[in-house]
Structure 1
Amino acid sequence: MKIVPLLITLLFSPVVIGQTLAAPPAREQTVDSSRLQSDSQAYRFSTFRLDSDDGKRHYQLWVGHPNRPAPAAGYPVLWMLDGNAAMAVLQPGLLEKLANGQAPLLVAVGYQGEQRIDRNARSFDYTPTIAGQAEQLDPLTGLPSGGVDAFLDLLSQRMRPLVASVAPIDTNRQTLWGHSYGGLAVLHALFTRPGEFSQYAAASPSLWWHDGAIGREAHGLQQRLGQARPSLLLMRGTAEPASPRGQQQADAERPMRELATELGQVNGLHVSYQRFDDLSHGAMLPASLAHLLETLSK
């Protein structure tokens, strides 16, 4: 495991994420995908819609195709949760660099509608079930929760075949990125289905959720890995509090640091941890995704 301090201002051009960092997306803001209606020089985008199996959540997928031939094994794929908000990070300059690097297929998994953050849907889709609770409710919002396994099943059984029907994909090079509750979903995916993706990127995961329930899911990961050899990228801003209802603490980073240390001892799992100096929780959404995209562009 490596722990690497990260200075955002040294890594990213203001042209790429300057505006995004200054105004982190809020759920009331709307998504503007008008520039994606026409093909860019680097990527062309198409959209797909589908519903959850129970018909209660309605998804929109933005699929970005690199304007270059697919490798023999197919395109690597980057799956981005909170896809409506993620689309705002895909600035033209960054897409150009990405197309000249690994050129992955980009799949932003969002929700139908114009809101960047769909609080109701993500409270259900990105959270695990808590054993022994008759009613699964999110401790922060009071909304229904516990649907992450159904969501991940939907991704693997319906979304992935849909994407594969329009572009050849490399099933051995799949990355899952998520922020906050999305980061919680990424960790749950790693702990329960470590062979589903080759890389897991969890930005500011909600480790506080239900008194640290996600950390307990890591127990037994060594045995569940089997032949899988995934990597995990953990990311956190140094200005983030330990929980959304708490004040900044002297060592708010401790839960993340301890998780990184624990997971770094799992044979077969490569763990890296990036700190983002002076960034708040909201600012970490665009910064963490931009960092991952920068990595893939090299």
Structure 2
Amino acid sequence: MRIACTGLALLLGVAAMATPAAAQPGRARPVGTTVADAEVPGWRWQETRVTSTDGLRPYRVRVAVPERPAPADGFPVAYLLDGNAALMATDAALLTRLAAAPRPPVIVFIAHDNGLRIDGDARAFDYTPRRPGDEAAQRDVLGGRRTGGADAFLALIERTIVPQVEAMVPIDSSRRALWGHSYGGVFVLHALFTRPDAFNVYAAADPSLWWGDGQLLREEAEAVAAPGPAAVLYLWAGGGDAAMASPRVPEPGRAPAPPSAFQRARTSLPATATEDMAARLRARGLTVHWTPLPGLSHGQTLGASLPLLLEALSGASVATP
């Protein structure tokens, strides 16, 4: 692929902006300038906006479309949760590699429509399934945020966002992926266990399996395989967050502080919980690509997992199950 000098300078500039943004974990940090705001050779951008059925949460959906003729059966497509954070973790160099791949994917960034990298309150509700019990049970251990809206959000993606996006460009409906990180990973696994035919590829980066006192483990045990070809699952987990879940060492002469609800939740499952789930699902016949990301923190797995999924979808790389 030839790139004029001015185009190359732009590429390098956008990559320089994206790299520090992806390295900083702050949730409430402003989004700033991303690749969606600059011209990257081989790509064009389209956009749509939708609102939750209760009218409380607007979403901005930005779509990166390869500027080349679609394959006979259409482009693969990746629907990315935490769209603002995913945009900040996507640089021009990645898009350039994907543009040159055999089958570049259409990339759909689904974000809460504000200037925040991550909207903690909105995602806590949208990305988590409803738990058994009354409304008091639908409160998060992190700040008491409201939870339980995953089914409504999944319906919004399936019935509104997917049709709008797939009217923009020819899509290969057999190569439709859903990606999420952390609570987004909770959502992806909930979708796999309850709507296994909604997507063909499910991708969860460091999913918060501890959430809801092991809610996803119960859903896994109750899941029934969908008719037709089985979905493919990608799972990643980091290894640098042990200190987050552990109580601080007390000062000399002081009694240790009791663990917080968050610490108790995080330590309720073994460190190998994600790998163990991958093994169980593989034993049930699911194609599972399990990739540990040693040395990376929980936050860093967001940016590390994205190129692995997008390049696998594009045919630029082959993941080893």
- TM class by shorter-chain length? 0.7 to 0.9
- CA deviation after TM superposition for structure 1 residue 20, in Å: 5.0
- In 2, Cα distance between the equivalents of 1:107 and 1:160? 9
- In 2, Cα distance between the equivalents of 1:233 and 1:180? 14
Residues 43 and 66, structure 1, Cα contact 8 Å, conserved in 2:
yes
Residue ranges of structure 2 left out of the alignment (5+ in a row): 1-14, 246-261, 317-321
- CA deviation after TM superposition for structure 1 residue 72, in Å: 1.7
Matches for 1:1-298 after TM superposition, within 5 Å: 19=20, 23-33=23-33, 35-101=35-101, 102-135=103-136, 136-221=138-223, 223-241=224-242, 245-246=262-263, 252-267=270-285, 269-297=286-314, 298=316
Question: Alignment partner of 1:210: what SS?
Answer: helix
- In 2, Cα distance between the equivalents of 1:20 and 1:236? 21
Residues 90 and 303, structure 2, Cα contact 8 Å, conserved in 1:
no
Q: TM-score, normalised by structure 1?
A: 0.87
- In 2, Cα distance between the equivalents of 1:79 and 1:33? 21
Structure (1 or 2) with the greater helix fraction: 2
- In 2, Cα distance between the equivalents of 1:278 and 1:39? 34
Compared with structure 1, are the counterparts of its residues 47 and 265 closer, same or farther at alpha carbon in structure 2 (3 Å cutoff)?
Answer: same
**Structure 2: which amino acid aligns with 1:126?**
Y
Residues 242 and 253, structure 1, Cα contact 8 Å, conserved in 2:
no
Compared with structure 1, are the counterparts of its residues 235 and 242 closer, same or farther at alpha carbon in structure 2 (3 Å cutoff)?
Answer: farther
Match of 1:9 in 2: none
Cα-to-partner distance string for 1:117-174 (whole Å, 9 max, x where unaligned): 0111101100000112333212223111100010000001000111122112122110
**Structure 1: which amino acid aligns with 2:289?**
S
Aligned pairs, number: 280
**Structure 2: which amino acid aligns with 1:236?**
A
- In 1, Cα distance between the equivalents of 2:25 and 2:312? 22
Question: Alignment partner of 2:230: what SS?
Answer: coil
Question: Alignment partner of 2:40: what SS?
Answer: coil
Question: Alignment partner of 2:161: what SS?
Answer: helix
Relative CO higher for 1 or 2, CA cutoff 8 Å, sep ≥ 6? 1
Cα-to-partner distance string for 1:226-268 (whole Å, 9 max, x where unaligned): 223111111011113397543997x95221122112111112x
Compared with structure 1, are the counterparts of its residues 189 and 41 closer, same or farther at alpha carbon in structure 2 (3 Å cutoff)?
Answer: same
- In 2, Cα distance between the equivalents of 1:77 and 1:94? 16
Residue ranges of structure 1 left out of the alignment (5+ in a row): 1-14
Compared with structure 1, are the counterparts of its residues 243 and 154 closer, same or farther at alpha carbon in structure 2 (3 Å cutoff)?
Answer: farther
Residues 84 and 118, structure 2, Cα contact 8 Å, conserved in 1:
yes
Residues 35 and 90, structure 2, Cα contact 8 Å, conserved in 1:
no
Question: Alignment partner of 1:107: what SS?
Answer: strand
Question: Alignment partner of 2:124: what SS?
Answer: helix
Compared with structure 1, are the counterparts of its residues 173 and 242 closer, same or farther at alpha carbon in structure 2 (3 Å cutoff)?
Answer: farther
